[in-house]
Amino acid sequence: MSTKVWIGLLFLFCVVLGVGRSDLSCAGPSGRHKLQINFWNGFTGPDGQIMLGIIRKFNEANPDVEVTMQRMDWDTYYNKLMVAELDGRGPEVFVIQSQWMARMNRAGFVADVSDLFTGSNPIPKDDFDPVVISQVQYGQKMVGVPLDIWPFGLYMNADYMKEIGFTDANGNARAPKDKAEFLKAITELKKTAPDGSADRWGFALDNWRWDFQSLLPQFNGRYFDEKGRADLANPNNVAALQFLVSLNGPPRLMPPPENAMGWVGFRQKKVAMVVDGIFMVGDLKRLNDFNYVGAPVPVIGSRPGTLADSHCLCVRHDLSPEMHKAAERFIKFLSNNSIDWADAGQVPARKSVRADPRFAQMPVQYAFSKEIPYIQYLPRTPVLFDINRELDFAVESAIRGRMSSQDALKQASDHVQEELDRDALEQKEEGLAK
């Protein structure tokens, strides 16, 4: 046979294979075409594998729907999601962290999924803590379903805590409860090498802004005043930041700012305690010889409190009724099975799921879930990008000793107010345009 005939046969084979494949993937058992749901998220770590397992279960249980997952780094996730959705090419179901919901909702591509909470076989609203469910409530609209909660808590090296006598009645490592205990612990945990340098630190900052924001609720801190104006430099916020700055010493109780060991130092057993989100527990699970425990953030201020956020499941606004129903069925499945998701290093958003005995077997998740009554979410504002940017710099400037806590937060507050004014002007212009 000539080359041309071979190429022709190969082409024919590919066409047949392609048609067959497309038929296999799109037709359900009844011969109807499957509904294809694209699900986008930023679960690029081991959590993605767990989510994939849940999706497989859904696909098996729902032969008329096929969900495919697309994962991408959170850093680029939102701009891809935004552009894809505004262009009508976005996924049918996607995850939005509650902190970014205000902006994404304003962009207008997030559907109202109120019927998930009210229709037949609803997800009960009262199965969520009020602070959690309020993250997806915009006026009369419910713009998503919180899948989980990720509170920030205290991670400890259990062996080191036992070494300094921080144990409970059963001899297990325990966390410092208040400021006095915390300072005592980090003082005793610090070990000095013969040359005077620190061999081990009791505590290290990880993400400096998150460390600060985890303390804010304890000091009754806030982002805006009653009139909605930026209020980052209020005395409570300054006190929270000043506490972190004070750990620079003397005596120095955390590594110098130039040696930002944070989480890596904790994993390397050079740091005994760090504050971070529950999502980091997946990283610790991979270590074989590391004895760690989790606990609520010690009460440094006047009351317990910590930072938290949630992954919210959302639907695209322009789906056909049939697709919308299928998307909601998928979301309901994820919500109902969020105990599996908890294993990825999350606290389930629903109370009934947290009551599952399996959840109590997840020690760090279970310990961090005790913080839920006093968690504080980031403010619901379209200028969150600017708040984060300003706080990053303010906290860094104060900790590096470039500016006083008061001045650094004042500068941040002024810049955020400028952005609020600019945004308000844009909103006004939008109103006029309408």
Partner 1 sequence: MTYTQSRRWGGLLFLLPYALSFLVFVVVPVVVALGLAFMQFDLTNRGAIHFIGLGNFKEALGDTYFWQALKATFTYVILMVPGVVVAGLAMALGMNAMARGRNAVRALFFLPGLFNVAVTGLLWRWFFEDDFGLFNYLLKKMGLHTVPWLSSSAYAMPSIVLMSLWWVLGGTAIVLLAAVQQIPRPLFEAAMLDGAGGRALLSKMTLPLLRPVLLFVVVMNTIGAFQVFGQPFILTRGGPERVTRGLVQYIYEMAFNNYRLGYGAAMSWLLFLVVAVFALVQYRFLRRSVS
Interface ranges with partner 1 (CB under 8 A): 76, 78-79, 82-83, 86, 103-104, 106-108, 257-261, 264-265, 268, 270, 382, 385-386, 389, 393, 396-397, 400, 402, 423, 426-427, 429-430, 433-434
Comparison of 291 and 388: residue with beta carbon closer to partner 1: 388
Comparison of 323 and 399: residue with beta carbon closer to partner 1: 399
Ordered DSSP codes for 133-163? HGGGEETTEE--EE-EE--EEEEEEHHHHHH
- The end-to-end CA distance of the chain, in Å, is 70
Q: Supply the minimum distance, in Å, between the C-beta of residue 388 and partner 1.
A: 10
Beta bridge partners of 69: 39
Q: Supply the minimum distance, in Å, between the C-beta of residue 427 and partner 1.
A: 7
Sign of the CA dihedral with 413 first, then 417, 419, and 420 last? positive
Comparison of 361 and 427: residue with beta carbon closer to partner 1: 427
Comparison of 174 and 190: residue with beta carbon closer to partner 1: 190
Measure Cα distances from 417 to 39, 290, 378, 388 in Å: 36, 45, 17, 13
Neighbours of 313 (CB within 10 A): 27
For residue 288, give both structure tokens: 């074989």
Q: Supply the minimum distance, in Å, between the C-beta of residue 190 and partner 1.
A: 16
Comparison of 1 and 432: residue with beta carbon closer to partner 1: 432
For residue 27, give both structure tokens: 């037709």
Comparison of 168 and 289: residue with beta carbon closer to partner 1: 289
* Separation CA 275–CA 260 (nearest Å): 14
Query: Which residues are CB-contacts of 102 (< 8 A; sequence separation ≥ 6)?
Result: 380, 381, 382, 384
